[in-house]
Structure 1
Amino acid sequence: MSNLADRIESYLKKILEETDEGFVVLQRGVLAGEFSCAPSQINYVLGTRFTVERGYLVESRRGGGGYLRIVRLGWNQDSQFQGLIRQLIGDQLTYERALGLLKRLLEEEVVSSREAALIRTMLHPDSLNNDVFHPDILRAHMMKRILTTLSREDLI
């Protein structure tokens, strides 16, 4: 049986898939009640599994009239998501954040499992030479180049 965080994640992804709007609006307390958990557990799932790197924007307002809005960002050539990701990558990219982004590329079928494995190997800390470049800076540069290549129509 999966743990609580996995069940919450699966539930949220399922309702996002079922909506035509590309987003859902929920109340944290109601959601916590459905899973018999503390609202902080909902926050944990949102903060770790619904990140921008993984293709989600989460808006949250606390209080009596509070809500959660989870937006699934699209991946296509005209998508604002690609520009947003390039901005968020910035000049440095940790391996953990790179893996989150790579997971999203796999979910969107932008890359195959084999391609993802190759990219993961290329971005792994052991693959980056610390003597020449700072690994996070090099990883950010490499990921930006990968995204630029993936967004081109004229792939070789």
Structure 2
Amino acid sequence: MPRLSDIIEEFIKQMLQENDDRELQIRRNQLANQFSCAPSQINYVLTTRFTKDKGYYIESKRGGGGCIILRRIEFSDNNDLSEILRDKIGNTITYNSASNIINGLIESEFITEREGNLMKVAINDRVLNNVISDKNKIRADILKSMIMIIL
């Protein structure tokens, strides 16, 4: 049985898919009431499942009941990918962070799921098992190279 966080995440993703302009306004309290949970549960889902690494931008508006604006980041040009290479990957990256970036590229349909799976296999810990030091540096170099090929 799926956890509440998974259900809320899928619900929000469905709402985003139905909204063509890739922006969604969420009233945290209303969503919490709908799922019979605390508003902090909604915050948890938004801050852990809708991160910049995964291709989302969150903005909070206060006053008038307040709302949260969730925007889907489009990886549509070389500037966006250059930002990923420079700011998100950097000189080192963990597998989890790299996987989040790849998932964001898949969700934004910049790469296919098959391409994403190949990328994940190439950078996973089992493949880099024989690397004694700087595993995260090598992972970053491999991921950057794969993304550069996509460019």
Give the TM-score normalised by structure 1.
0.81
SS in 1 for 2:126: helix
The Cα of 1:61 is off from its aligned counterpart by 4.6
Computed over aligned residues only, the root mean square deviation of the Cα atoms, in angstroms, reads 2.2
In structure 2, what is the equivalent of residue 154 of structure 1?
none
Q: Distance in 2 between matches of 1:107 and 1:56?
A: 10
Give the TM-score normalised by structure 2.
0.83
The Cα of 1:20 is off from its aligned counterpart by 3.1
Letter in 2 for 1:30: Q
Which aligned segments of 4 or more residues in structure 1 are displaced greater than 4 angstroms? 61-65
Match runs of 1:1-156 below 5 Å: 1-61=1-61, 65-78=65-78, 80-86=79-85, 87-128=87-128, 129-131=130-132, 133-151=133-151
Q: Distance in 2 between matches of 1:48 and 1:31?
A: 17
Give CA-to-partner distance per residue, 1:53-98, whole Å, 9 cap, x none. Answer: 21111123567643211100112235x5323322121221110011
SS in 2 for 1:2: coil
Q: Distance in 2 between matches of 1:52 and 1:23?
A: 14
Equivalences, count = 149
Alpha carbons of structure 1 residues 20 and 112: separation in structure 2 relative to 1, 3 Å: closer
The Cα of 1:108 is off from its aligned counterpart by 3.6
Alpha carbons of structure 1 residues 2 and 141: separation in structure 2 relative to 1, 3 Å: same
Q: Which runs of 5+ in 1 are unaligned?
A: 152-156
Q: Which runs of 5+ in 2 are unaligned?
A: none
SS in 1 for 2:51: coil
